[in-house]
Structure 1
């Protein structure tokens, strides 16, 4: 395959979105616009979105030379780290999944529970590089790490989340560089 500068991706266009939906929501199978119950988590932080695969391995060592003779992958996990810059109902719900929220006469009360509860959801991460549209779907996942929320005069409040996938992750894209020939 020849080298091609146009296959270098720089994501982060204005349309980049993290969508959140209840567990069991119908999953997208194309790049058409998403509708309710998918909800937009809002503006994303400048650090972007980080995808990470963490394989678990067992090393088989041999006596001869005390070297690794083989490595076997025994499991692992896939995570996605997102940083949200907006304070809204979605980011608050991800930060405090057990919270009870009520609004009366224009005043919202958020009762954050001391404990965290399991809160599995569907996550869809959309990113764009000009006309390249990439949609990554986490079919079943939940926020397993939450960053510290800091309120300062010289920096916006951000919400940092690590989502652990419990189900499949798949990507839909119109990127011709990733297309395979029809069989």
Structure 2
């Protein structure tokens, strides 16, 4: 029987929390929890709401005649998502948000131009959500995350112009951690 351990309670939001996207599909799984390396771009500052994980599991229920009782269930679908609100206005965020090519800058005027596509394409990248509390680091890594839903942006002097994005985690999905509560768990083949 597992014992309760107050040391296993987590409240993420330390200075090093971050959201990273791989520069392209096929970027390998991070092997260093502290520094993901040059293959990853940070989205920058996030809104105070942090990141929100969604796990939606659909099930079919099979009822038997005798007693009209549920006799069996079967999972028919699984949807895994992570939602963030990017607070920075930077090329990485705009590329994900609009599905646009990088901006070009006129050398003479110094004006940068970002062409917004008529139809936003599927934006798919590897993603790593880094959660930190003290010395404990958790990274949610997915080999292919597709940005599906986007929230609205408020351009007022009372709000940050944040861009809310939902990443559908459709690739191979992993948690990576240095959490001592998991260190003694043997790897499964």
TM-score by length of 2: 0.89
Please tell me the root mean square deviation across aligned C-alpha atoms, in Å.
1.7
Q: Which residue, 165, 170, 174 being the options, matches 1:166?
A: 170
SS in 1 for 2:66: coil
Alignment of 1:1-183 (within 5 A): 1-21=2-22, 22-99=24-101, 101-105=103-107, 106-182=110-186
Bigger shift: residues 13-22 or 56-65: 56-65
Does the 8 A contact of 2:94 with 2:100 survive in 1?
no
Deviation at 1:98, TM superposition (A): 3.4
- Structure number with higher strand proportion: 1
Does the 8 A contact of 2:91 with 2:102 survive in 1?
no
What 5-or-longer segments of structure 2 have no aligned partner?
Answer: none
Deviation readout 1:41-65 (Å, 9 max, x if unpaired): 0011111111122112111123334
Deviation at 1:99, TM superposition (A): 4.7
Q: 1:11 to 1:65 in 2, by over 3 A?
A: same
